Amino acid sequence: MLLSLDGTGPVYQQIYRALKREIVSGDMKPATRLPSTRDLADQMTVSRNTVLLAYEQLLAEGYVRGKIGAGTFVADVLPEQGLSSSPPVTALASYAEVNLSNYARRAVNKPYRVLGPRSRALRQDFQYGVSSTSDFPFDIWRKLLNNRAKSSASEAFMYSAPEGSQRVREAIAGYLHRSRGVRCSPDQVLVVNGSQQAIDIITRALIDPGDITVLEDPSYPGARDVFLAAGSQLLPVPVDLDGLNVDMFPAAARRARIAYITPSHQFPTGVVMTLPKRLALLAWAKECGTYIVEDDYDSEFRYDDRPIESLQGLDPTGPVIYVGTLSKTLTPSLRVGYIVAPRELVQPLRTLKFLADRHTSTLQQDVLADFIGNGQFERYLLRVRKSNARRRALLLKTLKDEFGESITIGGENAGLHMVVWFQNVPVEQTDTLVSIAEANNIGVYSVSPYFSNRPAHAGLLLGYAALEEASIQKGIRRLAECLRPLLTANAAASHAARHV
């Protein structure tokens, strides 16, 4: 049986979706026998348990039925057909006809695009924010998870504290002190479902409609959209080669409630904020009564020198709210992040976390605490840092070999992505570059949506952590080949314009 997987998420979910498409489309008729789990696993070179999980989900949703000793068959009546017999419901034309709250209207009308998965899988996809599955320590994680799941401690399956378990908060506080210079006690740590929830909770705690938020330009759209949904007035401040500059803050910034920054590896440009600018920002925040939200999203990865200590570590009793995530270091699906809060904000943030979703998965917290506590996390980081360093070096070399002086590269010394600027390509042609690449099965991403004020030239954001070295080299060579006609024409036009 030939199934087309979409390349998104765990393999068992991809198999489930592929089979469901075959069933819903009618290509697999009612009462059709599905291949045995063993046969399909052999055909797709995956484990039998992976196929079993896909079949179990189809069975639970009513798309298939099982006969003991006979196999698994497409259901005679599909869930969609059962629903179609229900009385018709008159649907509203759009959300615009619903009496939404002002918050919801601001959220759905956001003017920014957020980087997300493509509609189809591409052969070489330089997507940012995704790690290589080959790097993840599945065997270790599975063993820790099984040990916890088999544990007789019933509290692992009960409600937990909104701020997270004591064990995991102690483990996170210790790790952050060793690796990032963060100085805090475990009771200042709040475990959340990724940095996106962290930013949302902080915003709800500090921002009312009309309040001012200072942020870098360019900046992370996921944070920017949260501030806009809260009704905040945004003050974008351009980032230079040394990071955010307090001297460029407009006068209105003195009334800001939040200054959102990514100082250790600015997103997306990759510049590192210098120590003098960090100290100036801390002094400004204290004087103005503004909280600094330090988003330290991928600072574990530096290649040419040692990691830069956190802004929070420079002034542990100051106005810094430190945010981190394990989505970039482990896997996006884990959805575990953390906030290190000033003491006066611990209780408000704890309450808002409780109201949002009560607490983060207790079982995942236990496994994470074991993973950090037994030293596996930092050993894993050491391994993945080396493999990402190799990917980065190859990407840099191949870009320079293929594009030469027609590009400049930024943010290459840290993190999991870099930005490639095309000197002779105006920003208006950025989407053309992306479209040409996609037509040739290569995924690249425009950096323009991250800017409030458009850059002069076309820039592409290239992530490399999810690709193997052979794919990186092949992808960049094919990218150069398919972009060469456009780049050659632009270079000729630029040369002619200079000699008019």
Mean pLDDT on 7-13: 82
Measure the CA–CA gap between 21 and 28, rounded to whole angstroms: 9
Can you give the pLDDT at residue 319?
Answer: 95
Measure the CA–CA gap between 486 and 345, rounded to whole angstroms: 53
CATH match of 11-84 with 1.10.10.10: yes
Can you give the pLDDT at residue 120?
Answer: 66
Domains in the chain: boundaries = 11-84, 124-134+381-498, 138-378
Contacts of 444 (CB under 8 A, 6+ apart): 126, 433, 434, 437, 438, 460, 461, 462, 479
pLDDT tens for 143-172 read 888 888 777 565 666 778 899 999 999 999
Give me the half-sphere count of Cα atoms (radius 13 Å) on the Cβ side of residue 435: 6
- H or E element, residue 481: helix 469-498
Quick one: CATH architecture of 138-378?
A: 3-Layer(aba) Sandwich (3.40)
SS3 labels along 246-294: HHHCCHHHHHEEEEEECCCCCCCCCCCCCHHHHHHHHHHHHHHCCEEEE
Which percentage of the chain shows pLDDT scores above 70? 91
Mean pLDDT on 312-316: 93
Q: In what order do the strands lie in the sheet with 417-426?
A: 407-410, 417-426, 457-463, 445-446
Q: Quick check: 468 and 494 in contact, CB under 8 A?
A: no
Average per-residue pLDDT for the chain:
87
Can you give the pLDDT at residue 99?
Answer: 80
Measure the CA–CA gap between 201 and 349, rounded to whole angstroms: 7
Of residues 300 and 358, which shows the higher confidence score? 358
Query: Strand pairing of 417-426 and 407-410?
Result: antiparallel
Can you give the pLDDT at residue 327?
Answer: 77
Can you give the pLDDT at residue 93?
Answer: 53
Can you give the pLDDT at residue 244?
Answer: 92
Mean pLDDT on 301-321: 85
Give exposure, 336-359, as e/b (b: 16+ Cβ within 10 Å).
Answer: bbbbbbbeebbeebbebbeeeeeb
Measure the CA–CA gap between 130 and 417, rounded to whole angstroms: 10
pLDDT tens for 398-408 read 999 999 999 99
Say if residue 366's pLDDT is above 60. Answer: yes
Say if residue 89's pLDDT is above 50. Answer: no
Strand, coil or helix: 337: strand
43, two tokens: 């055909």
322: amino acid identity, one letter: Y
Quick one: CATH architecture of 124-134+381-498?
A: Alpha-Beta Complex (3.90)
pLDDT tens for 219-269 read 998 999 999 999 999 999 999 989 999 999 999 999 999 999 999 989 999
Bridge partners (DSSP) listed for residue 217: 238
Can you give the pLDDT at residue 57?
Answer: 87
Say if residue 203's pLDDT is above 90. Answer: yes
Say if residue 83's pLDDT is above 50. Answer: no
Q: pTM for the full model?
A: 0.77
Contacts of 194 (CB under 8 A, 6+ apart): 325, 327, 335, 336, 337
pLDDT confidence bin for 306, thresholds 50/70/90: low
Provide Rg for the chain, Cα atoms. 25
Measure the CA–CA gap between 280 and 311, rounded to whole angstroms: 11
